[in-house]
Amino acid sequence: MKIAIGADHGGFALKQKLSEHLRGQGHEVLDMGTNSEAAVDYPTYARKVAEAVAGGAAVRGIMIDGAGIGSSMVANKVPGVRAAMAYDLSSARNGREHNDANLLTLGAGLIGGNLAAQIVDVFLNTECNEARHKRRVAMINEVQGAGAAAPTMIAPTVAAAGLGDLTEADMARIVERLQGLMGSSVGGVYHGGPCVGSCPDTARQFIELGARRLTSGPASPGRIPEELARYIDHTILKPDATVAMVETIISEAREHSFRSVCVNPCWVKKVADGLRGTPVLTCSVVGFPLGAATPDIKGMETRKAIRDGAKEIDMVINVGRLKSGDDDYVFKDILAVTEACRDGSAVSKVIIETALLTDEEKVRVCELSKRARANFVKTSTGFASGGATAEDIALMASVVRGAGMEVKASGGIRNFSDAKRMIDAGATRIGASASIAIVQEAQGSQGVTVSA
């Protein structure tokens, strides 16, 4: 594929890394600049990339600035371009699958190189095939065509981004304010701000941790633990969970800003109501914990949970059917849930119950999950004879990573050391009832930093 890629000074280093990544995969790269870290104006390069795509010189485009937002605005002013900003694998997939985006914008200040490469891979390998999405893309193009004026030269100034009479001093103040809101990255370490908390699956630190960029350093209470919490699904799935227990979990999630609260279906509406106004998502389990319900029931259970407020669904496969060699049944079992999740804009996770499977069976079910277009494969319910192991995480990650899927480790993760071991093996999400203990341990005498 012929790819046009560009960046401003803030995105230059990431552009170089991604260009090398793309060439390594056999793509032809058209580098539209900039060519150094000297300060430049992102609208100039965003337009160059957009015009290369609109004019047919490139099939897809990639533009990188500090946050990815401004470049997306600029690119979408070029007729024929549908630019989508992505900050995680799900948003990259959605931009292609639902919107047929032909240009990707990235924020170098929000994500690291490893995650950016995975986002690019998903963006390039996902297609828009479903009729309802194509119909809506045609509607987007009609709007664009109706409002589009003849292209004019855009000077490399702030006016190029449609920002009217703003001066460079105005822009500097805006940038300073945005950095204060989002936090900043100094020396490769993210400092403060709601970025990780407000971007689903952002995983900048998390992906870097998985790339063994986790190091110990002086304690820094309140910084990394806040981010670490965003990769944890705070879980209460015990059968004797009471209203008081669920209310405690909600309160803890609000305090620590965990990624989600994972509960049984009967608690979904209560949790969704309790988390309203926060970045914490509501997650429900389906077919839990045995996975023995029929596919149609799992599909209906999924849709009900989504209607009640669930944004993520963790479904259990039919283990007995898998072990019987009935892969077609297991595929339909998973598909019933993933289709319902796509219809409801929810994330799908497939619990394969690794403790009950051979390695060959683990690989088979991961492949089936890929075919069904799940977002995650997950190790365990926590109700079987064993939970997550680093070996299982590594095996699962090796099967699904190329498809842009992620791996969730759950079952028996009781402290930060356990979580780190899973992350090192390739997990990008942690399910735990001991979430607070994990975060508190990370706040201990051994701080955590992320190297550049």
Catalytic center residues: 314, 378, 408
Cβ-Cβ contacts under 8 Å for 179 (sequence gap 6 or more): none
According to DSSP, the residues that pair with 7 across neighbouring strands are 64
**In which residue are the tokens 């998502």 written?**
281
Rounded CA separation 86/206 (Å): 16
Rounded CA separation 443/441 (Å): 5
Rounded CA separation 120/108 (Å): 13
According to DSSP, the residues that pair with 233 across neighbouring strands are 260, 431
Helix (H, G, I), strand (E, B) or coil at 144: helix
Q: DSSP letter for 167, please.
A: -
Q: Phi and psi dihedrals of 54, rounded to 5?
A: -65, -35
Rounded CA separation 181/320 (Å): 50
Rounded CA separation 107/349 (Å): 27
Rounded CA separation 18/20 (Å): 5
Rounded CA separation 36/39 (Å): 8
- How are beta strands 312-316 and 347-351 bridged, if at all? parallel
Q: Which residue type, as a one-letter code, is found at position 87?
A: Y
Q: Are 313 and 302 in contact (CB under 8 A)?
A: yes
Q: Phi and psi dihedrals of 316, rounded to 5?
A: -100, 130
Rounded CA separation 247/269 (Å): 12
For 266-287, b/e burial (b = at least 16 CB within 10 A) is ebbbbbbebbeeebbbbbbbbb
Rounded CA separation 445/450 (Å): 16
* Type and span of the H or E element at 274: helix 268-275
CA-closest candidate to residue 110, choices 229, 205, 5, 210? 205
